[in-house]
């Protein structure tokens, strides 16, 4: 199947061709016809499967059917992070280049001038608004956002917005939108809260469920059992002299990101970090440097695990075992995108074996444990008394049954 089979607007097809798209991915193949027909949709697909294009292309096609180059807001796309909002806006600009459909990304973290520029653009008019919930609410509360002509709503990474506590903001935004609209929800996982929300805001909707909560088959997964003190040396051993143009390292904390960046720079590696202490323009510069291969290694927290759109990441390293099994899926999904292969490696210290075992249960796969390179040293001895029970659930057993007294029977 090719994109020409969807009978999309010719101007939109020019944008698709200029972006180098030829054959649709499975989520695109299933979602685009449903959305072109006007159905509400809830779609569950893992990261890196092309779901952004799956909603952007039918959205742009339908906007072009309803109006020609007016200044009304026709569609709203809500995303959990500014990185994801910027990513969606960039992709939309590419697809819409020949169509005349305008867009605006609205997100926090910038200066007062940025907010004023957003305000002017909203009042002047943009056909598609891509926004983070909090920033959009700030504009809505000031009374100049006109959603009266809106016909399309997209909630992207709905599960992430739930995890980040955005649902009250989403509910407030929904109250300002026309009830008659086409609504699309995209999520990497489908917890009960998401299904409950879908029932409330979708009408006679269709559902797509693809490869829920499992890494893509073309991601080669591996792990090392390692002391924390060995991790930097292990990174150096894995990267030095290897053909790895782009490497993404995830750390559990912002302070950890900074420490890793500093340690790798001391070892003369080409590395930069991205975290919430950076201004928005600084963060975008770092991401562009990474995207353009001006830096080899990007160190980040989960803030970019769903927001970075780079197809050629050859290696993802989990410096810590993710606290959530679903976060593991999203992290490793940053490699092996667009049907390419990639490698995802997790560092497991002596206290994290139980946590990683739960991830393996979640993805229904056993990740291969590799021996440490000789220059890094010896792995922790997991059979030692201090390590044997880490991560295990212990059952309570009274030491002496004679000392375990039953409560007295009530007097009658």
pLDDT tens digits, 280-289:
678 878 888 9
pLDDT for position 69: 56
Q: What pLDDT score does 408 carry?
A: 42
Per-residue pLDDT at 146: 94
pLDDT for residue 308:
65
Report the alpha-carbon distance of residue 233 to residue 140 in Å, rounded.
50
- Architecture of the domain delimited by 219-370: 3-Layer(aba) Sandwich (3.40)
Angle at 318 between CA 268 and CA 314, to 5 degrees: 70
* Burial annotation 318-327 (CB, 10 A radius, 16+ → b, else e): bbbbbeebbb
Average pLDDT estimate for 387-402:
41
On whether the pTM is more than 0.75, the answer is no
Q: What is the mean pLDDT of residues 134-138?
A: 94
Q: Do domains 3-210 and 219-370 have the same CATH topology?
A: yes
Q: pLDDT band for 339, please (50, 70, 90 cuts).
A: low
Candidates 3.40.50.300, 3.40.50.720, 1.10.1060.10, 3.20.20.60; CATH matching 3-210:
3.40.50.300
Query: Above 60 in pLDDT, residue 402?
Result: no
What's the rounded Cα separation, in Å, for the pair 317 and 345?
5
pLDDT score for 343? 93
Q: By three-state DSSP, how is residue 392 classified?
A: coil
- Residue 404 corresponds to which tokens in the numbers above? 């375990």
- Which of 17-26, 43-52, 365-374 ranks highest by mean pLDDT? 365-374
Question: What's the mean per-residue pLDDT of the chain?
Answer: 85
Structure tokens at 389: 């029970």
Region 104-130: what's the mean pLDDT? Answer: 86
Sequence spans of domains, the chain? 3-210, 219-370
Q: What is the pLDDT of residue 363?
A: 85
Mean pLDDT of 81-95: 90
- What region does 248 belong to: left with phi over 0, alpha with psi -120 to 50, or beta? beta
Residue 303, pLDDT score: 63
For residue 395, pLDDT over 50 is answered with no
65-83 burial, b for 16+ CB within 10 Å, e for fewer? eeeeeeeebbbbbbbbbbb
pLDDT over 50 at 249, yes or no: yes
Q: What's the helix, strand, coil split of the chain in %, to 5?
A: 40, 15, 45
pLDDT range class, residue 155, cuts 50, 70, 90: very high
The per-residue pLDDT for 176 is 95
Q: Which residues pair with 272 in a beta bridge?
A: 298
């Amino acid at each position: 199947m090719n994109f020409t089979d969807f009978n999309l607007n010719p101007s939109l097809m020019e944008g698709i061709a200029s972006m180098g798209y030829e054959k649709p991915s499975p989520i695109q193949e299933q979602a685009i016809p449903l959305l072109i027909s006007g159905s509400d949709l809830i779609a569950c697909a893992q990261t890196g499967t092309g779901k952004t294009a799956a909603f952007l292309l039918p959205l742009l096609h339908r906007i072009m059917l309803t109006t020609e180059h007016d200044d009304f807001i026709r569609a709203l796309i809500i995303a959990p992070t500014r990185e994801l909002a910027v990513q969606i806006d960039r992709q939309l600009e590419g697809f819409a280049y020949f169509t005349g459909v305008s867009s605006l990304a609205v997100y926090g973290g910038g200066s007062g001038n940025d907010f004023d520029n957003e305000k002017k653009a909203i009042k002047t008019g943009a056909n598609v608004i891509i926004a983070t919930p909090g920033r959009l609410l700030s504009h809505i509360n000031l009374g100049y956002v006109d959603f009266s002509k809106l016909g399309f709503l997209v909630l992207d990474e709905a599960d992430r917005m739930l995890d980040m506590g955005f649902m009250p903001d989403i509910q407030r935004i929904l109250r300002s939108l026309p009830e008659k609209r086409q609504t699309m929800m995209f999520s990497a996982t489908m917890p009960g809260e998401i299904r409950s929300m879908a029932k409330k805001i979708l009408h006679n909707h269709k559902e797509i469920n693809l490869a829920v909560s499992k890494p893509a088959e073309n991601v080669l997964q591996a792990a090392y059992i390692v002391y924390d003190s060995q991790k930097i040396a292990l990174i150096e051993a894995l990267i030095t002299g290897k053909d790895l143009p782009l490497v993404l390292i995830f750390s559990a904390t912002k302070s950890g990101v900074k420490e890793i960046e500093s340690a790798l720079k001391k070892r003369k590696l080409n590395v930069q970090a991205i975290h919430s202490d950076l201004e928005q323009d600084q963060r975008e510069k770092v991401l562009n440097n990474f995207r353009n291969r001006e830096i080899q290694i990007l160190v980040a927290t989960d803030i970019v695990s769903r927001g970075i759109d780079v197809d050629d990441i050859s290696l993802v390293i989990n410096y810590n075992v993710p606290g959530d099994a679903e976060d593991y899926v999203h992290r490793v999904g940053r490699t092996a995108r667009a049907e390419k292969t990639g490698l995802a490696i997790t560092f497991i210290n002596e206290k994290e074996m139980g946590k990683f075992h739960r991830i393996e249960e979640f993805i229904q796969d056993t990740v291969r444990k590799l021996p440490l390179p000789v220059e890094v040293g010896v792995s922790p001895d997991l059979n030692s008394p201090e390590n044997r029970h880490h991560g295990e659930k212990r059952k309570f057993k009274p030491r002496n049954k004679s000392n375990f007294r039953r409560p007295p029977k009530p007097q009658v």
